[in-house]
Amino acid sequence: MSKKRRDNKGRILHNGEMQMSDGKYRYKYINFRGEEKVVYSWRLTRHDPIDPTKKKTLSLREIEMDIQRAEFDGLTVYGDNMSVLELVEKYTTTRIGVRPTTKRGYGTVINLLKKEDFGYRRIDKIRISDAKYWLIKLQQKDGKSYSVIHNIRGVLRPAFQMAVDDDLIKKNPFNFPLVDVVVNDSVRREALTQAQERKFLQFVKEDKHFKKYYEGIYILFKTGLRISEFCGLTVSDIDFKNHILHIKRQLQKNSVKDYYIEAPKSKSGYRKIPMTKDVEDCFKKIIENRNPPKIEPMVDGVAGFLYFDQNGSIVYSLHWSHYFKRIWTKYNNIYREPMPKVTPHVCRHTFCSNMAKAGMNPKALQYIMGHSDISVTLNTYTHFEFEDAKKELEKLG
C-alpha cells in the first residue's frame, strides 16, 4: 500500500496537492480545456492562521472549491484574473475597422476605468447589482449625463458578453435596461412647428449677414439630410436632369485626422433623394455662388464640395453648428416670442415630423431619412398632438 503524502503538520494531502520546501502549498490540475494550471497558497484550509508577513489569499482548499465550481459550469476560474479595464482593452482591440468617432469613444471609456476602482475589480466578481450601483454612482455622484452613461454601458455590455462567450464568466452583469437604473435626463429634441420654421427661414433670408446661409439651411429643412451628409455633397452628386440627390458619404473632421470621408451610418444611408423644384433652385444658387480656392481641396480622393470658409477650407458640421447658434441667438435677441433651439439636427427632425404629419408612408420616410430601423422613423409619430389626431380622424370620415 502506497504511503499517503502529508504536510509538515501531518495532514493528508489530496491528489494534486503538495507542500513546497518553503512551506507554501501548491495545487496542480488540468482545466476543462485540457490546459495544465497551478495555484498556490500559504494556508491549506481556511482554519489555518494568517501570517501577517505573507500576502492574504484564500486557502488552497478554498481555491480548489472555486476551481471545481468553475469547472462544473465550464468556466475559467476567477475569470482568468482579468480586471474590468483589461477586459475592455481586450474587447476594443478586437473591434477592427470602426469609425474614428467610435475609437475615440472607446478611449474615453478606458480612460474613465483607469480612474475608477471599478476598473480594477475582477470580472468574475462583478454582479448585476454592482454594475447598476456603479452606473448610478456615475450619474448621482459624478454628474455624468444619461447619454454619457448610455455610451459607457454601450462598451461594457458587449465587452462582458465577450467574456461570457469566452467562458470566463457565467452571466453578463450589464445585460439590463438602462432606463430602469439611471434617470433619462436627455433633453428631447423638439421639431419646430411649420410656423416657426417659416419665421426662422424668413429671418435668415432677410438678415444682411446670415442670408448667405439661407439656401443651405432651407435644404436641411426640406430634405432631412444629416449635416455630415450635406457637408459631404459635391457638385457631381446633384443630378438636375433626373432631379435626384445622391447621398454617398459623410464629411468629417477631427483634431487628430483633419478632414476625412466616412461612409454613411449604415447601408440605408446610401440613398437617392428626389429633389423638389425649390430645393433644386437652392442648389443651383449655391453652385452659382460657390467660391473654391485656386487649388480645389480634395479629401480622400473626393473634390467638388459646395461650401468654403473665408480661409478656403471646406465647411463641415462644426461650421454649421456655429452658424445656427449665432442665427438663433440673434433671432431671440430681437423678437419677444423666443424660438426653440434650432440646430442642423432640429432641421432633420422637423422635416421627418412634417412628412409624418403629412401622411407619408413610414417606409418611404424611412428610406428618405436613411434610417436603418423603422422604429427610429416611427418615433417621429410620437410628436403628434391633439390637432394632428383630430385631422387624422377627420380624414377617416
pLDDT at residue number 256: 65
pLDDT at residue number 83: 92
pLDDT at residue number 385: 61
Contact present, 51 and 44 (Cβ < 8 Å): no
What domains sit in the chain, N to C, each tagged with a CATH number? 17-74 (3.30.160.60), 84-180 (1.10.150), 194-391 (1.10.443.10)
pLDDT at residue number 329: 96
Catalytic residue positions, numbered = 226, 265, 345, 348, 371, 381
Of 148, 224, 230, 183, the C-alpha closest to 376 is: 224
DSSP letter assigned to residue 266:
S
Contact present, 95 and 106 (Cβ < 8 Å): yes
Based on DSSP, count helices (H) and strands (E) in the chain, helices before strands: 14, 8
pLDDT at residue number 19: 93
Per DSSP, the three-state class of 273 is: strand
pLDDT at residue number 2: 60
pLDDT at residue number 81: 79
- Consecutive 10-residue averages of pLDDT for the chain (397 residues): 81 91 90 80 91 85 82 64 91 88 91 96 93 95 92 95 88 92 74 94 96 97 96 97 96 83 89 95 96 92 95 94 96 94 94 88 90 76 59 64
pLDDT at residue number 249: 95
Name the grid cell of 264. Answer: 454613411
The beta-strand segments (E) located in the chain are: 17-19, 25-30, 36-41, 238-239, 244-247, 250-254, 258-262, 271-274
Taking each helix axis from N to C terminus, what angle separates 214-223 and 317-334, rounded to the nearest 10 degrees?
Answer: 100
pLDDT at residue number 384: 57
pLDDT at residue number 51: 87
Residues 326-370: pLDDT tens digits? 999 999 999 989 999 999 999 999 999 899 888 888 899 999 999
